[in-house]
Amino acid sequence: MSLPIADRLAAHLSGWVGAWPPEDGKLLVTTSEARSRPGWDGVVHPVGGVASPLGAVLSVPPSFVGPVSALATSLDELRRADLSAVFGPGSRLFEGVFRWSEAPIALPDAGEWVAVQDPSVPEWLLPFGREVLMTTDDAGQYIAGVGIKRHDRFGHELAVVTEAAAQGTGLGRRLVAQAARRVIDGGQVPTYLHADRNVASAKVAAAAGFPDLGWRLLGVVGATTLAPTP
């Protein structure tokens, strides 16, 4: 029997950032194995975090847990903290929008799943591996596609890119909804992350069934002590 979506999300975040859920609106600074092992892209991401209306969890290497905990006990305090004292000159908090879906919009399928080795797959989709979801024109040329970042057993993040000529046609939202349904059917939770300034991506996500529930993606950029989190 498959887990409810909320339980899949909790299982994903427990491993990805080290603990979930946070408590009483507080900031929990913790660590996890994910801080030292390569992620979906083969790169180690030493800092990562997620915040929700319940509170926030920031995951750092073990030796940083104490120093970061001393800086802040809430997300608001972390936003005001001088991160350069721990992570090096120029360090600052990065925030983005963290979305997840348990009910993708029932839009018509818009693409086909293609093995990543297929010569029609564009370069940007190659790092995702396995199969990718694509739409092509009558000549077999790529128009839009979705890749899946398989973070762990339960968390699969979607990434979508639509060629400029096809933007505004609804292809992106249909592909994201189609991919989200496959992720859910596979026993995972689909997530969708984007920068605050990426209005187009926000519209695609909302239209595909990924509401903005006030959840935030957290990281540290500009760090000299640690490799920055993208």
Domain encompassing residue 24: 5-101+215-221
Whether 96 and 117 share a structural domain: no
Is the per-residue pLDDT at 34 higher than 70?
Answer: yes
Contacts of 208 (CB under 8 A, 6+ apart): 101, 104, 105, 107, 172, 173, 174, 176, 177, 180, 192
Whether 159 and 90 share a structural domain: no
Is the per-residue pLDDT at 228 higher than 50?
Answer: no
Rounded to two decimals, the pTM is 0.94
Structural domains in the chain (count): 2
Whether 57 and 130 share a structural domain: no
CATH number assigned to the domain comprising residue 178: 3.40.630.30
CA distance 15 to 131: 24
Whether 79 and 139 share a structural domain: no
Whether 11 and 94 share a structural domain: yes
Residue 229, in any domain of the structure: no
**What angle (nearest 5°) sits at the alpha carbon of residue 144, between those of residues 221 and 96?**
25
Whether 135 and 203 share a structural domain: yes
Distances (CA, A) of 201 to 36, 41, 174: 30, 21, 13
Instruction: Tell me the average pLDDT of the chain.
Output: 94
Whether 85 and 130 share a structural domain: no
Per-residue pLDDT tens over the stretch 188-225: 999 999 999 999 999 999 999 999 999 999 999 987 77
- DSSP codes, 155-219: EEEEEEEE-GGGTTSSHHHHHHHHHHHHHHHTT-EEEEEE-TT-HHHHHHHHHHT----S-EEEE
